[in-house]
Amino acid sequence: VSRAEPLDLLDEAHSGSRVALARLLTIVESGGTRHRELVAAAYAVPPPYVLGLTGPPGAGKSTLVDGLIATGLEVGDRGGPLPEIAVVAIDPSSPFTGGAILGDRVRMQSHATDERVYIRSMATRGHLGGLSLAVPDATRVLGRVGFALVVVETVGVGQMEVDIASAADSTVVVLNPGWGDSMQANKAGLLEVADVFVVNKADRPLVRETRRDLEQMLDLGESRPWRPPIIETIATSATGVAALWAAVNDHRSHLEESGELATRRRRRTREGLIGVLAAESRARSRALAHGERFEAAVDAIAEGTIDPYRAADELLD
Amino acid sequence: VSRAEPLDLLDEAHSGSRVALARLLTIVESGGTRHRELVAAAYAVPPPYVLGLTGPPGAGKSTLVDGLIATGLEVGDRGGPLPEIAVVAIDPSSPFTGGAILGDRVRMQSHATDERVYIRSMATRGHLGGLSLAVPDATRVLGRVGFALVVVETVGVGQMEVDIASAADSTVVVLNPGWGDSMQANKAGLLEVADVFVVNKADRPLVRETRRDLEQMLDLGESRPWRPPIIETIATSATGVAALWAAVNDHRSHLEESGELATRRRRRTREGLIGVLAAESRARSRALAHGERFEAAVDAIAEGTIDPYRAADELLD
């Protein structure tokens, strides 16, 4: 394990060192003192644009990300082609970063050796707030070293995966034709976070029915200034990927022009601070749960001279 | 909702008022200021003996409890017949106290009108630590008003149900013949907490195999001073209930004579205090998550003048 200082690593990563960048993201995963030093620097610069992708396993997210990377590097945004793009891949259900994520890297292999693309799978190795805090921290570190766009891809459809992917500026929900049957459990959650819908594998049956279902659900929902478009893609042949890229850029323009981007980011900042407060106070209470004062409190409760609630208050104060 | 003071209610409940006792347990469920006042009094006296019963739904726990109550009132412990017994029934999987619990009351109907028996189903209505703190508090309140024995029965086999039932002085795990097949998920958890095994519905096939399986598992486990006996019962005809009651009393004698009772209770006191610490600090961090100072911190993070971790520290300090 490198003992290089986070600020030195930031300089090296900013100059293009992928080794330094990998170490920085390991620091994010690990939490601790160096993490604190790192986030102090990372949060001092504006965040990158974060694009979240979520949807059920096997929907084709990684292949779509592969296509989006190609389009982003070629077409880019209003500022022209993007010089580089980072991908953060998350599989919170896996205790290791292997499994599905290694599969992702294979599926994204057209960019595996492209030095303009940085792909990183993330796990928590000690970060006190888990992935829901580690991923935003990682995007800020990537922004700090110069990435203008970070794609966060989550594998799985639990609420946690959806929450992580939707802590993005624009969230793409990737479905397949006929998805509704297999996805009842978290349908509402997915629908609520979508800024853009993708019906991938659009060469399969039931595309029209799936589109109609989504349209109906959007009709039933609250009317909002932005109605999520539904983009049909066949990721394996890059069909529709340019349209998806354009839809994401449209959403971004909408957010910027309406002022909604600032509103969303402030809401995320609030939620992030609440998450850090909870994690920090959890860590503090754990630190109080041993040692002399703690054992004395246990004795006092056992003797009946204090109840556990007053004892906890005295330890916390 | 009564506004009577907890200490007055304790006096009334101690004099036999079931209405006052019900109000006290509602105060436990609800948390808040009156709960604090109540636990301060409840923890000042020694705890009652707590007997936990857990096992899969449909195993016959409530009918067994019914039989144990009858035996306890008749035979009692070394001090003679028990003048009264309390039962706390928990179904954490149910958002209401209805459903299975109402069924329990029906199954325990032979004592529904017996004034020596107090049966209460519990839910959390605001207690900051949830049922895993509310149930121990409830047993202490029952002890404070004079119950020498409290039976805690949990419905369901999740880890939470097992944890609640096993936060007892003696824990009875109720199974049925052939249980192994349906119970793989939490088998180890159930085995670990058992002080006494019951194979209920022992008039069904596979009793011998079930006993043999349990014996083998006990042989494989660590050798301990107390080997959990396996009692066969047919709760519906009270067959074996006297033997179960005797086994529980044996376990109690073992705990008392070996000094293990004090060790266990101290461990539970430690774990309880850790739980209260966590719940209290969670409540405190929630209280910090709004207001002027919090919004100023969000502003500062958004402006890049502070990171969320330092901001949380400043709010917590």
pLDDT (tens digit per residue) in B253-294:
999 999 999 999 999 999 999 999 999 998 899 999 999 999
- In the prediction, which pLDDT does A31 show? 86
Output the CA–CA distances (angstroms, integers) from residue B92 to A1, A120, B99, B278, in the order listed.
45, 40, 11, 20
| Torsion sign over Cα A41, A34, A29, A273 | negative
- pLDDT tops 50 at residue A279: yes
| Residue B97 pLDDT grade (very low, low, confident, very high; cuts 50, 70, 90) | very low
- In the prediction, which pLDDT does B185 show? 52
Q: Is the separation of the CB atoms in A295 and A289 below 8 Å?
A: no
- A301 close contact with B: CB closer than 8 A: yes
- A40 close contact with B: CB closer than 8 A: yes
- B274 close contact with A: CB closer than 8 A: yes
Strand order in the sheet with A196-200: A117-122, A85-90, A149-154, A49-54, A170-175, A196-200, A230-233
DSSP-H helix ranges across chain B: 6-14, 18-30, 33-42, 61-74, 100-107, 131-144, 159-166, 179-182, 187-193, 207-220, 241-258, 260-288, 292-302, 308-316
Give the nearest partner residue to A281 out of B44, B46, B281, using CB atoms.
Answer: B281
Give the nearest partner residue to A308 out of B265, B272, B316, using CB atoms.
Answer: B272
Instruction: Read off the pLDDT of each residue in A163-183 and give the average, rounded to a whole number.
Output: 85
Angle at CA of residue B85, ends B82 and B91, nearest 5°: 155
- In the prediction, which pLDDT does B222 show? 80
**Which residues neighbour A69 within 8 Å (Cβ) at sequence distance 6 or greater?**
A85, A87, A108, A111, A117, A151
Please give the residue of chain A at the shortest CA–CA distance from B312: A277
| Residue B103 pLDDT grade (very low, low, confident, very high; cuts 50, 70, 90) | very low
Question: Which residues pair with residue A233 across a beta bridge?
Answer: A200
Higher pLDDT, A305 or B129: A305
**Chain A neighbors of B259, CB-CB under 8 A:** none
Q: Is the separation of the CB atoms in A76 and A119 below 8 Å?
A: no
* Contact across the interface for B280 and A278, Cβ inside 8 Å: no
pLDDT tens-digit profile of B135-177? 999 999 999 999 999 999 987 667 777 888 888 999 999 999 9
Mean pLDDT, all residues of chain B: 88
- In the prediction, which pLDDT does B109 show? 55
Euclidean distance between CA atoms A166 and B117, whole angstroms:
53
pLDDT tens-digit profile of B33-72? 999 999 999 999 999 999 999 988 889 999 999 999 999 9
**Chain B neighbors of A273, CB-CB under 8 A:** 289, 294, 297-298, 301, 308, 311-312
Euclidean distance between CA atoms B51 and B147, whole angstroms:
12
Euclidean distance between CA atoms B204 and B36, whole angstroms:
49
One-letter amino acid of B249: N
Mean pLDDT, all residues of chain A: 88
User: Residue A116 corresponds to which tokens in the numbers above?
Assistant: 């303009």
Q: Is the separation of the CB atoms in B66 and B107 below 8 Å?
A: yes
| Residue A309 pLDDT grade (very low, low, confident, very high; cuts 50, 70, 90) | very high
**Chain A neighbors of B46, CB-CB under 8 A:** 304
Euclidean distance between CA atoms B294 and A148, whole angstroms:
29
- From A32, A31, A8, select the one nearest A19 (Cα to Cα): A8
Phi then psi for B84, rounded to 5 degrees? -160, 155
Instruction: Read off the pLDDT of each residue in B184-196 and give the average, rounded to a whole number.
Output: 78
Output the CA–CA distances (angstroms, integers) from residue B205 to A46, B195, B211, B215, B238, in the order listed.
70, 24, 12, 18, 19
- In the prediction, which pLDDT does A110 show? 61
Euclidean distance between CA atoms B139 and B132, whole angstroms:
12
pLDDT tens-digit profile of B220-259? 888 889 999 999 999 999 999 999 999 999 999 999 999 9
pLDDT > 90: percent of chain A: 68
Query: A95 exposed, middle or buried (CB, 10 Å; 0-12, 13-18, 19+)?
Result: exposed
Euclidean distance between CA atoms A285 and B277, whole angstroms:
6
- In the prediction, which pLDDT does A191 show? 80
Q: Is the separation of the CB atoms in A309 and B42 below 8 Å?
A: no
Give the nearest partner residue to A272 out of B276, B308, B316, using CB atoms.
Answer: B308
- In the prediction, which pLDDT does A183 show? 59
Q: Of A228-232, A282-286, B24-28, B104-108, which range is least confident?
A: B104-108
Instruction: Read off the pLDDT of each residue in A206-219 and give the average, rounded to a whole number.
Output: 91
- In the prediction, which pLDDT does B177 show? 93
Instruction: Read off the pLDDT of each residue in A185-209 and give the average, rounded to a whole number.
Output: 87
| Residue A163 pLDDT grade (very low, low, confident, very high; cuts 50, 70, 90) | confident
ipTM: 0.87
Euclidean distance between CA atoms A10 and B62, whole angstroms:
63
* Contact across the interface for A307 and B270, Cβ inside 8 Å: no
- Residue in the structure block whose two tokens are 């890297």: A105
Instruction: Read off the pLDDT of each residue in B16-25 and give the average, rounded to a whole number.
Output: 95
- B138 close contact with A: CB closer than 8 A: no
Instruction: Read off the pLDDT of each residue in A2-14 and give the average, rounded to a whole number.
Output: 88
In chain B the first and final C-alpha atoms are separated, in Å, by 37
pLDDT tens-digit profile of A123-132? 767 777 788 8
pLDDT > 70: percent of chain B: 89
- In the prediction, which pLDDT does B98 show? 37
Euclidean distance between CA atoms A280 and B317, whole angstroms:
11
- pLDDT tops 90 at residue B78: no
Give the nearest partner residue to B273 out of A279, A281, A308, using CB atoms.
Answer: A308
* Contact across the interface for B46 and A304, Cβ inside 8 Å: yes
**Which residues neighbour B169 within 8 Å (Cβ) at sequence distance 6 or greater?**
B49, B50, B51, B252, B255, B261, B264, B265
The total number of residues shown for chain A amounts to: 317
Which of A274-288, B190-204, B247-261 reaches the highest mean pLDDT?
Answer: B247-261
What is the CB neighbour count within 10 angstroms for residue A58?
11
Q: What is the DSSP letter of A235?
A: G
What is the CB neighbour count within 10 angstroms for residue A163?
19
